[in-house]
Amino acid sequence: MSEKLKVGILGGTGMVGQRFISLLENHPWFEVTTIAASPRSAGQRYEDAVGGRWKMDTPMPAAVKDIIVKNVNEVEEVAKEVDFVFSAVDMSKDEIKAIEEAYAKTETPVVSNNSAHRWTPDVPMVVPEINPQHMDVIEFQKKRLGTTRGFVAVKPNCSIQSYAPVLTAWKEFEPYEVVVTTYQAISGAGKTFKDWPEMEHNIIPFISGEEEKSEKEPLRIWGEIKDGVIVPADDVKITSQCIRVPVLNGHTAAVFVKFKKQPTKQQLIDAINNFSGVPQELKLPSAPKQFIRYMEEDNRPQVALDVDYENGMGINVGRLREDSIYDWKFVGLSHNTVRGAAGGAVLCAELLKAQGYITAK
């Protein structure tokens, strides 16, 4: 019998759900045993429920094709089959909040890709290389929920992954003012060019809610646990513009930074290349060996060449140069549906298992 932990994917038929299923094929610790989606898909074989909507480059894993899709709303039915769930359902924020807590209350840990709980004060929002210690707030959340092993943990928005890790690597130089423009791929909206043909040869200067997330979420990641809640940092100001561009996968960020301490270019590059965290120390299965890399070529990072660096889990940085108004500027690139969505959540779950928060039921 398999000793892997049994995993359910809530929203498994959607784009992020499909990415979870692809990433978990042959995972050494986790096995997808259960898939849940809307009542429209419930009762069907997974392959039939997805139909022509499979959006991954790799084929659908054979092991999931015959799984009968369950209804996300039948919480007990889903929860009794699994050790924990990944959440990628698309419902209203209030519905997602409620359903994720309902799963947690069945003593089923929820690792969520959704934004609904990102500002719930006792829910950790974690990039495992940056703030693994925030998982400690789970003990306070469990008290609130009245659970012994059930809780919700989330990963942050895809847009921040192209610059927040870089600013973290530069913490010793005290960045305090940041201007960022993100150029975001259409898969971030759950779309391909087939279902969003208007995006070909086009740019749309608006992504609902994205600028607020891009400005505020890094502060929560750099925050501290005080009195059982996460208190965001307040020593960095970020302003952003988020633009949708005709790219399938990969969010690029053009960033300007002011520092309190003046680093040299070489110090900044060394800090990027040498930055690593708990996932690298523990050699978690999805951890990139090199979390952030600096590219010297003037025309890198490029989406077409670099988005899959470290299987989509690494961050690419280039074009670091002095600025005439700010101190330094650079360009970052990360994979929005791998590091920025499902892959980031899988790494969180691996960290939670390593920390003892996720166990077999």
Ligand X SMILES: NC(=O)c1ccc[n+]([C@@H]2O[C@H](COP(=O)([O-])OP(=O)(O)OC[C@H]3O[C@@H](n4cnc5c(N)ncnc54)[C@H](OP(=O)(O)O)[C@@H]3O)[C@@H](O)[C@H]2O)c1
For residue 128, the SS3 value is coil
Q: Which of 5, 7, 88, 351 binds ligand X (CB under 6 A)?
A: 88
Q: Phi/psi of residue 11, each to 5°?
A: 85, 30
Contacts of 62 (CB under 8 A, 6+ apart): none
Q: Would you count residue 91 as binding ligand X (CB under 6 A)? A: yes
- In terms of CB distance, is 168 or 336 closer to ligand X? 336
Asked if residues 32 and 72 have their Cβ atoms less than 8 Å apart, the reply is no
Q: Which of 79, 103, 336, 353 binds ligand X (CB under 6 A)?
A: 336
For residue 210, the SS3 value is helix
- Active-site residue, selected from the candidate residues 117, 134, 242, 251: 251
In this chain, which stretch among 85-93, 201-209, 222-230, 323-331 interacts with ligand X, using CB under 6 A? 85-93
Site residues for ligand X, 33-52, by CB under 6 A, read 37-38, 40-41
Q: Is 134 a catalytic residue?
A: no
Q: Would you count residue 190 as binding ligand X (CB under 6 A)? A: yes
Q: Would you count residue 207 as binding ligand X (CB under 6 A)? A: no
Q: By CB under 6 A, how many residues form the interface with ligand X?
A: 25
Task: Measure the CA–CA gap between 245 and 242, rounded to whole angstroms.
Answer: 10
- Active-site residue, selected from the candidate residues 117, 134, 158, 242: 158
In this structure, what token pair is assigned to residue 150? 């059930």
Q: Would you count residue 237 as binding ligand X (CB under 6 A)? A: no
Q: Would you count residue 72 as binding ligand X (CB under 6 A)? A: yes
Q: Which of 124, 188, 277, 279 binds ligand X (CB under 6 A)?
A: 188
In this chain, which stretch among 24-32, 198-206, 254-262, 336-344 interacts with ligand X, using CB under 6 A? 336-344
Q: What is the 3-state secondary structure (H, E, C) of 32-93?
A: EEEEEECCCCCCCEHHHHHHHHCCCCCCCCHHHHCCECEECCCHHHHHCCCCEEEECCCCCH
Q: Would you count residue 21 as binding ligand X (CB under 6 A)? A: no
Q: Would you count residue 60 as binding ligand X (CB under 6 A)? A: no
- In terms of CB distance, is 116 or 351 closer to ligand X? 116
Q: Is 348 a catalytic residue?
A: no
In this structure, what token pair is assigned to residue 221? 């990641």
Q: Phi/psi of residue 320, each to 5°?
A: -75, 120
Task: Tell me the HSE value of 245 on the side-chain side, using a 13 A CA sphere.
Answer: 16
Q: Would you count residue 17 as binding ligand X (CB under 6 A)? A: yes
- Amino acid, res. 119: W
Q: What is the 3-state secondary structure (H, E, C) of 303-342?
A: HHHHCCHHHHCCEEEEEEEECCCCCEEEEEEECCCHHHHH
Q: Which of 13, 34, 106, 131 binds ligand X (CB under 6 A)?
A: 13
In this chain, which stretch among 5-13, 226-234, 255-263, 277-285 interacts with ligand X, using CB under 6 A? 5-13
Residue nearest to ligand X (CB): 14
Q: Would you count residue 11 as binding ligand X (CB under 6 A)? A: yes
The torsion of the CA quartet 306, 284, 146, 155, rounded to 10 degrees, works out to -10
Helix, strand, coil percentages, rounded to 5, for the chain: 35, 25, 45
Site residues for ligand X, 242-301, by CB under 6 A, read none
- Residues catalogued as catalytic: 158, 251
Residues near ligand X (CB under 6 A): 11-17, 37-38, 40-41, 72, 88-91, 113-114, 158, 187-188, 190, 336-337, 341
